Amino acid sequence: MTFVLSFLLRRLSQGLVIVLLVGFVIFSLLRIVPGDPVRIIVGPMATEKQVEEIANELGLNDPLPIQFGRYLSEITEGDFGNSFIKAKGGNAASGGKENAGVERAAVLDLIKNAIPLSAILAGLGTAFALMFSIPLGIAAGLRPNGLISKLTFALSSIFVSLPNIWLAILLILIVSTQLGWLPAIGYKGLSYAILPAIVLAVELSAVIVRALASSVTTTMQENFVQAGVVRGLTLQHMISRHVIRNASIPILNLFGAQLGGLLLGSLFIVEYIFNYPGLGLLTVNAVFQRDFPVIQGVAILTTAALVIINIMVDLISAGIDRRLQY
Amino acid sequence: MLKAAWKRPQFRIGLIIIVSLLVLAIILPLISSTSATTLSIRERFAPPIFMDGGNLKHLFGTDQLGRDLLLRSLIGLQNAVFIGLVSVIGMFFLGAIIGMYAGYKGGWIDTILMRITDAQMSIPVIILAITILGVSRPTAFSVIVVLILAGWPTYARVIRSVTLTESKKEFVRAAKIIGASDQRIILSHIAPNILPPVAFIAVLDVARMMIFEAIFGFIGIGIQPPIPTFGNILADGTKYLINAWWITVIPGLFLFTALISLNLIGSTLESARNEALEGREQ
């Protein structure tokens, strides 16, 4: 228990520093680059004076560190600011004189509404990827020179080389428009998540299946496997009870370091292509509309999520393999 | 490592495909009578050669403005390979400088540099890309900068660990004793050893960066039209998916062919290296 506590304390404080650093970098970047957000809020017809007033009101004229400090103190109260563009009702409140009084949607609400949909998609994608990779990866790892292994490696080479945008379009074209099996655009139920999840799964599987196969192969060569067999345990028992458990640790680490970012990145693209109303679509649209509060809110929260995933992964691997507790 | 890889057919197949695609991509646009951006409204939506109505003039067909898709794919490949290569070279150099410095110096310099590496690694590429490219007018240069910023930490980590093991070896100590400067040791004794472990990562990364380039172009934050890139070719084509599926499918297939040949080369290098390492241990 003391291990868990000291581990959490150390890693969470490191993680906090990382998130703050990332937050500040993104915050500054968004303010250095050209493109006046106030112009977007008030529309092209507003006078210079009105632009100045709104900029002052939103605090956009203060020095950067002060703006960032104010932003941070608001975050601790759970306030990520309001969208520049989106109105509370969900419609765009883009520049027009009648919307001076429109209340703009809170960033946190926008993100809160998008997260469940993204979570469904990410979960489904990961589940598909595991359903495909675990049996193939273990089979390939047990016979590293066998036919299944060669097939698996060929398949994973093909999967890495498939650009996700192209695969998504192909699936829409063939499965959705030609065959009419599954819906593709928008979200009206779980069936809308299947095609985008397949695209995610293909990308994830390419990495997982290879790592799992080589991890199983390495574990099989370790002494304890021989020892177990010599002591009279069946090979079957060794594989199902011991080899898979040990071989899963590198895969878990992979999930933290690489797959978290990969999953998130392709989630954004896939949601955009399928017009799936999750976090990715929210962010890509925010970029087109220069909706800074939304972009920085998403950036900070996703970085924090990645940091937390990494910490959890390390905790779980330490739970599987006690030797990793330090 | 190269020799061992050369013995495998996959390596040679990959190399032959990518080299011939590149030669084609460089020569054909030069000798062709039209260019990738020539509009020809009368010939728009011409299907590829193997379909009814296809003709020899446009092997891959034409898009909604009558532009030749073969030429567009070839120029797209030029751009993709250029961006992929330059960004991988850039991230290698940045990673090498930081990794070697951190690994050689050790102590607090190492700690700080590695913490920065960790922080950089936890920013997803796509977030970095859309914040930088999305809010400015993207050019080939800014796309490359973003990819380098996103990609260097992997190289820094691998190169740091190589430097750590190398700098403990006898020949580095010997060089120190006879008074070689840090710079000289890093450049002439450590630097030559960092290439083999990252060579295959680099080849695979060129393919990955080409995919990123396509993704950026697709969501409108890559090189801007009218310069053809796979991203904007595919994005154009999605509007005409039902009537003219070839605008997206065929250039995509072309990109896929280039990527798979690069990945064949990279993964063959990887397994050749792994075998070499195992052989050395025994």
Whichever domain contains B70, its CATH number is 1.10.3720.10
Task: Give percent of chain B with pLDDT exceeding 90.
Answer: 15
Number of domains in chain B: 1
Final residue before a domain boundary, out of A106, A126, A143: A106
Mean pLDDT calculated for residue range B32-60: 73
Cβ-proximal residues to A19 (8 Å cutoff; 6+ apart), any chain = A300, A303, A304, A307
| B1 vs B141, residue with greater confidence | B141
pLDDT of residue B281: 45
Least reliable range by pLDDT among A39-43, A132-136, B156-160, B188-192: A39-43
Element (H, E) at B99: helix B69-105
Q: Nearest-CA neighbor of B159 among B97, B205, B85, B86?
A: B97
Answer whether residue A102 shows pLDDT above 60: no
Pair (A97, A189) in one structural domain: no
* Other beta carbons less than 10 A from residue A49's beta carbon: 8
Highest-confidence segment of A34-43, A172-181, B2-11:
A172-181
Q: How far is CA A73 from CA A31, A68, A80, B245, in A?
A: 19, 9, 10, 51
Pair (A102, A115) in one structural domain: no
| Residues A144, A147, A148: CA angle, nearest 5 degrees | 75
B115 contact residues in A (CB cutoff 8 A): 14, 17-18
* Other beta carbons less than 10 A from residue B141's beta carbon: 11
Pair (A120, A58) in one structural domain: no
Number of domains in chain A: 2
pLDDT range class, residue A246, cuts 50, 70, 90: confident
B222 phi and psi, to 5 degrees? -100, -160
Answer whether residue B65 shows pLDDT above 90: no
| A28 vs B42, residue with greater confidence | A28
Distance CA B231, CA B246 (A): 15
pLDDT of residue A325: 58
A307 contact residues in B (CB cutoff 8 A): 122
Question: What's the predicted TM-score (pTM) here?
Answer: 0.84
Highest-confidence segment of A135-139, B25-29, B55-59:
A135-139
Answer whether residue A100 shows pLDDT above 60: no
DSSP code at position B224 = P
pLDDT range class, residue B47, cuts 50, 70, 90: confident
Cβ density class A117-150: b for 16+ within 10 Å, e for less: bbebbbebbbebbbebbbebbbbbbbebeeebbe
Pair (A313, A171) in one structural domain: yes
Answer whether residue B215 shows pLDDT above 50: yes
pLDDT of residue B282: 38
A272 phi and psi, to 5 degrees? -65, -45
Pair (A45, A125) in one structural domain: no
Pair (A102, A114) in one structural domain: no
Distance CA A148, CA A154 (A): 10
pLDDT of residue B257: 93
Helix (H/G/I), strand (E/B), else coil: A170: helix
B229-259 pLDDT, tens digit per residue, is: 888 888 888 888 877 888 888 888 999 999 9
Answer whether residue B49 shows pLDDT above 90: no
Answer whether residue A115 shows pLDDT above 80: yes
A34 contact residues in B (CB cutoff 8 A): 135-136
ipTM score: 0.85
pLDDT range class, residue A298, cuts 50, 70, 90: confident
Pair (A102, A125) in one structural domain: no
Task: Give percent of chain A with pLDDT exceeding 90.
Answer: 6
Final residue before a domain boundary, out of A106, A128, A148: A106
Pull the structure tokens for residue B83. 């961006």
Pair (A155, A262) in one structural domain: yes
pLDDT of residue B13: 87
Q: Is the dihedral of CA A80, A82, A87, A91 positive or negative?
A: negative
Residue B6 counted as domain residue: no
Pair (A120, A47) in one structural domain: no
Q: How far is CA A263 from CA A166, B115, B126, B154, in A?
A: 17, 23, 11, 18
Pair (A239, A101) in one structural domain: no
Final residue before a domain boundary, out of A54, A88, A106: A106
Pull the structure tokens for residue A227. 């020892």
Specify which residues A86 forms β-bridges with: A92
Specify which residues A87 forms β-bridges with: A104
Cβ-proximal residues to A182 (8 Å cutoff; 6+ apart), any chain = A175, A176, A191, A194, A195
DSSP code at position A59 = T
Amino acid at position B37, single letter: T
Domain that holds residue A9: 2-106
| Chain B nearest-CA residue for A34 | B136
Mean pLDDT calculated for residue range A283-305: 82
- DSSP letters, A292-312, are HHHHHHHHHHHHHHHHHHHHH
Distance CA B72, CA B32 (A): 12
Least reliable range by pLDDT among A40-44, B167-171, B240-244: A40-44
The chain-wide mean pLDDT, for chain B, equals 83
Answer whether residue A93 shows pLDDT above 70: no
Mean pLDDT calculated for residue range B95-122: 83
Domain that holds residue B245: 22-281
Quote the minimal CA–CA distance from B100 to chain A in Å: 22
Residue B4 counted as domain residue: no
B118 contact residues in A (CB cutoff 8 A): 14, 18
Pair (A22, A160) in one structural domain: no
| A267 vs B44, residue with greater confidence | A267
Pair (A76, A164) in one structural domain: no
Quote the minimal CA–CA distance from A154 to chain B in Å: 9
DSSP code at position A36 = -
pLDDT of residue A309: 80
- Which CATH number is A152's domain given? 1.10.3720.10
Q: Nearest-CA neighbor of B46 among B36, B37, B56?
A: B56
Note which residues in 157-186 of chain A have CB less than 8 A from chain B. 157-158, 160-166, 169-170, 172-173, 177
What is the C-alpha R_g of chain A? 24
